Amino acid sequence: MQLHDFYLSGNCYKVRLFLGLLGLQAEMLNVDLPCGAQKHPEFLALNPRGQVPVLVDDGQPLVDSQAILVYLARRYGEAHWYPQDALSQGLISGWLSLTANEIHNGAARARVGLKFGRPVDLEDAQARGRQVLELVDTHLAGRLWLVGDQPTIADVAVYPYLALADEGGLDLAPYENLAAWFARLRALPGYLDLPRL
């Protein structure tokens, strides 16, 4: 199993974290994002979207960090990571969509603007980021995990860019439920540290 990876990317970290939680090893292949390696023809042949991470397992490429979590959970994970009943899968998928859109275009984009100097509408990204922090913090009141009573891939998907939100200029201090959930995630066996700048 190989992971086409960039260390500082929260989406790549998300996959490395889940590999760690599952006790799996992958060969790490660095994709030099600052040099635009993800847009070179040989990388586009692997992932026409021009994005990291890409997981290659048994020669089969899988793109998109949320999709890789689904794949790894189904193939290698204990059932609680992605339970097979319709309701759990529906609820988890709702968090995967939130991660792909609102978190990507909020907390993650603010971090990319502030820390990588990419041109983003910082105010807009931070406003979206705060909305999601508020939403997730409120959802976690009285809950241990986002869906059900055990950790799922929803937690693994949502965690990285919320935990890194301070690097996008967002203040995490007001969110007590988030802080407690972060602590629960960090206590899981196999947890890996965040890729802080």
Nearer of residues 30 and 101 to a second copy, judged by Cβ: 101
Q: Work out how close the CB of 88 gets to a second copy at its nearest, in angstroms, rounded to a whole number.
A: 9
For residue 114, the minimal CB distance to a second copy (Å) is 21
Least spacing, CB of residue 133 vs a second copy, in Å: 13
- 152 and 81 Cβ atoms separated by less than 8 Å: yes
By CB under 8 A, what part of segment 25-64 binds a second copy?
48-49, 60, 62-64
Residue 96 Cβ vs a second copy, minimum distance, rounded to whole Å:
7
Q: How many residues bind a second copy (CB under 8 A)?
A: 35
Binding status of residue 177 toward a second copy by CB under 8 A: no
Residues binding a second copy (CB under 8 A): 48-49, 60, 62-64, 66-68, 70-72, 74-75, 84-87, 89-94, 96-98, 100-102, 104-105, 135, 138-139
